[in-house]
Amino acid sequence: MSDITLEKRIGGSPATRFFQEFFGNSAQFPIANILLELLLEGPQRYLGAPDAYAIALAATVQSFFLSRWQGGPHPRRFLGNLLGPALYTLIEVAMEGPRFFDSPNHLAYWGFAAAIGLLQSVRPLAPSTLRALVQVAEDVVRAGILLAMYAIFENATSDAFHTKEFFADRSHQFVTLATLFLGLSLGLANLTAQHYQRLLRETAARLRTYSEWLLGRDLLEKSMHDPGSLTLRRHQRTVLFMDIRGFTAWSESRSPEVVVEMLNRYYHAAETTLASAPVVKSKFSADEMMAVFADPADAVLVARRLRHEISGLLSGQGLGAGIALHCGPLVEGLLGSMGVKFYDVIGDTVNTAKRIESAAASGELLISSAVVPALGADLRLGPKRLITVKGKEAPVEVYPLLD
């Protein structure tokens, strides 16, 4: 089975976050810088030197750390955005010395990294009404990378370059305005995309919760990787049933609110106990609970814990629960029509487990002879009992499991 969990599907895997960080942030200035120096120095000379590989490495390292930090409690966006220029500077200064700082594009790398990092750090702290403005400002700054590198290219290729003359040129005015307005447009587009992405993640999280209620976490995870796992198939399973004794009479003298409050505590205690072992399927119906296990040893462990936890919960109300375990073949999978389906288990094993549970007294845990081989050597059984089960010619052999 693939190791991609639902959390990774909704929140993104480390690889997904890395590439999103790389192309959406860390690599943008390095790409512009590589193109600039490639045009200025020529492909053969530039690609034969380590400069392009150094800045690509710097962007990769920055993306690695930022993508890891982003999922933690301290994103450190300002510091993270300075990792790339810092590493690039260290490598280049070691090779070129102080003349590295004579290139305006190298200084621009620091400037844009600091500006973007500052905006990314401020955005989560800003009031909700200002976060959109900070996001748009960040995208305008990103668009400014193109304008700045174009000006640096003009400066490097023109002997009479002056800032005032640059902006006096109408073609340069067009490039400047077009770049800034494209940045503004991209910022607004990103806001819309982020809004819908947030809605999709919230919707996915809610659907996941609803699906876990119906299928359970383990089965839902399995079905996400292998939809065919929900197909009706024959399995060898151990079925647990638990039912509150005297619940109907007890509930008749209580208000519906009191009954619901007690049932919710009962469900919570049972679910907490079920979480201690892998459960194929569990479901509640009023005061009755059913759980299906692949391993009978897991079922025995959970049944013993349930008896202890539920007895403590119900004893204060003068109630108790009967529990039963039975093992055998059954059919398991999606049942229903084309419009409505549900995951359930069907078969004589399920019916027999329910009949055994009906014969269990309050606080008693009955197991069938089919479950006995799964018991540990330290567990003790009470005297054998034969119970009559509707639809079976021979009585079923069961044993009370003692504390």
Domain boundaries, the chain: 6-214, 231-400
**pTM for this structure?**
0.61
Position 169 pLDDT exceeds 90: no
> Quick check: 111 pLDDT over 60?
yes
Label residue 97 exposed, middle or buried (CB < 10 Å: 0-12, 13-18, 19+): exposed
Q: How much is the pLDDT for 10? A: 58
On the question of pLDDT at 380 being above 60, the answer is: yes
Q: Nearest 5°: phi and psi at 250?
A: -65, -40
Under 8 Å between Cβ of 385 and 399: yes
The tens digit of pLDDT for each residue in 242-296 reads 999 989 899 998 899 999 999 999 999 998 998 888 888 888 888 999 999 999 9
Picking from 250-254, 351-355, 391-395, which range would have the lowest pLDDT averaged per residue? 391-395
What gap in Å lies between CA 208 and CA 263, rounded to an integer? 24
Highest mean pLDDT range out of 5-19, 80-94, 253-267, 298-312? 80-94
For domain 231-400, say whether CATH 3.30.70.1230 is its number: yes
Which of 145, 150, 182, 151 lies closest to 164, judged by CA? Answer: 151
Roughly what angle, to the nearest 10 degrees, separates helices 51-70 and 83-96?
A: 160
- Round to whole Å and give the CA distance between 115 and 283: 54
Strand partners, 390: none
Whole-angstrom Cα distance, residue 326 to residue 283?
A: 17
pLDDT tens-place string over residues 49-62: 999 999 999 999 99
Which amino acid is present at 197?
Answer: Q
| CA-to-CA dists, residue 41 to 49, 52, 219, angstroms | 10, 12, 59
